[in-house]
Amino acid sequence: MVHDTGPPDRHIGGVSGKRGGRPIEEETPTMSNQVLTILRDAVDATCVLTDPDVMTGYVRDWTGRFVGRTAAVVRPANTAQVAAVVQACAQHEVALVPQGGNTGLAGGGVPTRGEILLSLRGLSDILQVDVAAGQATVGAGVPVGVLREAASAAGLGYGVDLASRDSATVGGTVATNAGGLRVLRYGDTRAQLLGVEAVLGDGSVVSHLAGLARDNTGYHLPSLLAGSEGTLGVVTAVRVRLTPATRARAVGLIGLASVPDAVAAASLLRNGLPGLAAAELMLPPGIDLVMRACRLSPPLRGTHAAYLLVEVTGDAPGEDGAGGNGPLDILADAVAGLPGVADASLADDRPGREALWAYRERHTESINTCGTPVKMDVTVTPDALPSFVEAVPAAVRAVAPEASTWLFGHVAEGNVHVNVTGAAGVGERVEDTVFRLVAERGGSISTEHGIGTAKRRWLPLNRSPAEIAAFRRIKQALDPAGILNPNVLLPAL
Ligand code: 2HG
Ligand code: ZN
């Protein structure tokens, strides 16, 4: 038995060399000390943090819904140290939870069962920005925003962007296969990956960072590790593709007569505008909340049944392409041809664009002001999306009459963020209700944030017994001691 298998919020277990060791409730201070000795032997002792005040920031997620405990936070400074920690943990069957910027929203980076917390933030070097190849190699602990700045300094871009860019690490976004705001244009994190370096569950290091754009020499480990949520390996470095520089961009916030109009408008824009980079749906309660929480004035005249935030990139006005029109003109023409548009505000200067994006990007922090949210990120097909958006609030009210439901998301992919506040004590009933609505429509219960600890019991709604059995065999092969994030993704046996 791996030493983490007590109920949530239990402290780290002991050390035993044999499988099927004692349950965690038999933990003693001596056993915790043994674990600390093993970790200090594996890395520089200064990398093993045990001060409760320091550890607080690592054992609690950003929303406050997932709160764990650990005997130690280990912060290795390089891949060799990560390998030493994993190897020692494997040898002594001590479970660990890898963590990047601790911005995860599904509880996958929190030691809910007293696992050792392995923080990758110390692997924070930009190792190479290779302009000739249009690629970069970075340590797993580099924040996404720092990678984006490094790319931009070299006249290039990085396709993944998200509101938590300053904290979320590249390694964490690989582990969750984060999507973010521009999946429509550039794909998810998996689509950026040309190589990874990772430590597998036995402490061995696999590294394939040459970045060859074509390479069919066997299994594509980057694809497997992306979205594996730290259950198969600890990502220590990645090789990613960079994107061409964006010369000009325009953003529009559009008020529409109905959710079906907004969904239809997003499809029309996606199919008609090659430069469309983002299409985000928002609803009146969310816009009102953001205005109150962030003290913003109304973005448009009046209130509208649905709001669409769109971004278009392209050549600067007067440059070749699009007959010399810049993205602002292109967007204005396109918006004029959409059905159901009641009002719109467009901007192509940076402050104007950022002001419009704020109504969308600040949803998450604004929702947190209403209490600890139950967060779901689901996807349904575009034709099912309007009925889903309509059905969710009533379905939530049926199990949590006092709760508030907040819906927004990446509409071009059918990805809806369902946030529910005021559902203390009935969070799992809310999740069950919403996930069943999703499954009835053939959708995915986890689109962006991962399965984590939060959704593992519902994985069978989306994955067949044969698929889950295959997942378990892969896990067993890459993590034979079962020490890597053992309480996330796969349903408990
Ligand atoms: C976003 O799209 C993030 O802003 C967070 O995925 C969504 O807060 C959420 O539920
Ligand atoms: Zn999102």
CATH code, residues 248-357: 3.30.70.2190
Q: If you measure from the C-alpha of residue 416 to the centroid of ligand 1, how many angstroms do you get, rounded to a whole number?
A: 9
Phi, psi (deg, nearest 5) at residue 2: -80, 145
- Cα-to-centroid distance, 417 and ligand 1 (Å): 6
55 CA from centroid of ligand 2 (Å) = 27
Q: Which ligand number lies closest to the CA of residue 104?
A: 1
Distance of CA 180 from the midpoint of ligand 2 (Å): 5
- Residue 32, pLDDT score: 80
Domain residue ranges of the chain, discontinuous segments joined by +? 127-244, 248-357, 370-448
Q: What sign has the CA pseudo-torsion 105, 106, 109, 111?
A: positive
pLDDT of amino acid 459: 98
413 lines ligand 1 (CB under 6 A): no
SS3 16: coil
Mean pLDDT by 10 residues, the chain (493 residues): 45 35 46 87 94 96 94 97 97 97 97 97 98 98 98 98 97 97 96 98 98 94 98 98 95 98 97 96 98 98 97 84 80 96 98 98 97 97 95 98 97 96 96 98 96 97 98 98 98 94
From 62, 63, 162, mutation site for ligand 1 pocket: most ligand atoms within 8 A of C-beta: 162
The pLDDT value recorded for residue 324 is: 72
User: CB atoms < 10 A from the CB of 458, how many?
Assistant: 22
Atom of ligand 1 nearest to the CA of 417: 10
Rounded to the nearest angstrom, the distance between the alpha carbon of 74 and the centre of ligand 1 is 28
CA–CA separation, 18 vs 91, rounded Å?
Answer: 9
Q: pTM score, two decimals?
A: 0.93
Please tell me the predicted confidence (pLDDT) of residue 317. Answer: 80
Predicted pLDDT at 18: 34
Ligand 1: residue of 161, 379, 449 to mutate (most ligand atoms within 8 A of CB) is 449
Lookup result for tokens 């996807």: 379
Q: How far, rounded to the nearest angstrom, does the alpha carbon of residue 71 sit from its chain's CA centroid?
A: 26
Q: What is the pLDDT of residue 27?
A: 53
Distance from Cα 253 to the centre of ligand 2, integer Å = 18
Residue in 63, 370, 377, 416 to alter for ligand 1 test, most ligand atoms within 8 A of Cβ? 377
Whether 419 lines ligand 1, by a CB cut-off of 6 Å, is yes
- Classify domain 127-244 by CATH architecture: 2-Layer Sandwich (3.30)
Q: Is 415 in the pocket of ligand 1 (CB under 6 A)?
A: no
Q: Is any ligand 1 atom within 6 A of the Cβ of residue 113?
A: no
Q: What sign has the CA pseudo-torsion 22, 27, 33, 35?
A: positive
Ligand 1 centroid, distance to 161 Cα (angstroms): 12
Q: Which ligand 1 atom is at minimum distance from the Cα of 360? A: 4
Output the pLDDT for position 23. Answer: 34
Pull the structure tokens for residue 475. Answer: 């896990």
Q: How far apart are the first and last CA of the chain?
A: 13
Cα(229) to centroid(ligand 1), Å: 17
Q: How far is CA 383 from the centre of its chain?
A: 25
Q: CA distances (Å), 243 to each of 80, 398, 437, in order? A: 31, 46, 37
Q: Which atom of ligand 1 is nearest to the CA of 280?
A: 2
pLDDT value of position 318: 73
Of ligand 1's atoms, which has the minimum distance to the CA of residue 361? 4
Q: Do the domains 370-448 and 127-244 match in fold? A: no
- Phi–psi pair at 138, nearest 5 degrees: -135, 155
CATH fold of 370-448 = Alpha-Beta Plaits (3.30.70)
Alpha-carbon distance of 167 to 221, in angstroms, equals 25
Closest residue to atom 5 of ligand 1, CA basis: 364
Cβ of 229 below 6 Å from ligand 1: no
